[in-house]
């Protein structure tokens, strides 16, 4: 069974003073999502893995840097379900800070998307300085970067727990209803995830349906709990 527990094969480094651990299982996620690219050439598959790594890292770095700016000590984990930016809130923590930290992740993703989009307009200027094969791989990698960061950022804003949008939804719901807010946010997430899962099944997108279905199950479980 997959776990977030450290393994001897994890990759560790520090970025902007923030400890980062890349679980060996993280590469499984990227490989499953981009396995079909092997047919085009291993270089495209490697480019895909690099894009997934950079994109998830930048997203979590957005969370972590804002948390650090608020005086907390964050750490980042990249694992088989994407990434986590972790820190310990204290008495200074507020709902506003929570929402700011949460939205910083998609914000970082959209920023990377904008940078990649700007760079794409200048691709024609470097085409002549590279071999056709290398240029095509770079061009494809840029396309992956654009798609991943736009789709991942938009997806994360959906009001489904534990996505960023779900966490913002929870903060809003608990503001208006401290007792039942978490349950309400989970009910919203369960309904939306169920609709998306059904659509994925109708489109025969079975892997996506499995991922969304797991989120739906999580939200149903949270919604059924008592004594919030």
Q: Any idea where the domains of the chain sit in the sequence?
A: 1-157, 158-228
**Rounded CA gap, 198 and 21, in Å?**
34
Q: Quote the pLDDT of residue 54.
A: 97
What does the pLDDT average to over 172-195?
A: 96
Q: Quote the pLDDT of residue 33.
A: 79
Q: Who contacts 196 (Cβ-Cβ below 8 Å, separation ≥6)?
A: 158, 212
Q: Quote the pLDDT of residue 89.
A: 81
Q: Which of the four pLDDT bands, split at 50, 70 and 90, describes residue 1?
A: very low
* Placement of tokens 């149903």 in the chain: 220
Neighbours of 73 (CB within 10 A): 13
Q: Are 166 and 185 in contact (CB under 8 A)?
A: yes
**Rounded CA gap, 214 and 193, in Å?**
9
Task: Note the Cα 63 to chain centre separation in Å.
Answer: 11
What does the pLDDT average to over 135-155?
A: 93
Neighbours of 197 (CB within 10 A): 21
Strands 75-79 and 82-86: antiparallel
Does pLDDT of 193 surpass 80? yes
Q: Quote the pLDDT of residue 225.
A: 84
């Amino acid at each position: 069974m997959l776990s977030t527990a450290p393994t001897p094969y994890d990759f560790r480094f520090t970025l902007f003073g923030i400890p980062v651990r890349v679980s060996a299982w993280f590469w499984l996620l990227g490989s499953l999502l981009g396995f079909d690219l092997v047919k085009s050439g291993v270089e495209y598959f490697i480019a895909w893995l690099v894009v997934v790594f950079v994109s998830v890292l930048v997203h979590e770095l957005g969370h972590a840097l804002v948390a650090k700016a608020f005086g907390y000590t964050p750490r980042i984990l990249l694992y088989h379900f994407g990434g986590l930016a972790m820190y310990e809130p204290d008495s200074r923590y507020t709902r506003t800070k929570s929402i700011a930290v949460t939205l910083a992740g998609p914000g970082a993703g959209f920023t990377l998307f904008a940078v990649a989009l700007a760079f794409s307009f200048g691709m024609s200027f470097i085409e002549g300085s590279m071999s056709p094969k290398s240029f095509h791989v770079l061009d494809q990698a840029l396309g992956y970067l654009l798609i991943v960061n736009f789709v991942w950022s938009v997806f994360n804003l959906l009001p489904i727990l534990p996505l960023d949008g779900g966490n913002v939804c929870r903060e809003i719901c608990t503001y208006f209803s401290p007792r039942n807010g978490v349950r309400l946010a989970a009910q919203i997430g369960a309904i939306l995830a169920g609709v998306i899962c059904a659509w994925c099944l109708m489109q025969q997108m079975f892997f996506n349906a499995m991922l969304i279905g797991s989120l739906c199950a999580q939200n149903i479980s949270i919604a059924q709990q008592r004594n919030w």
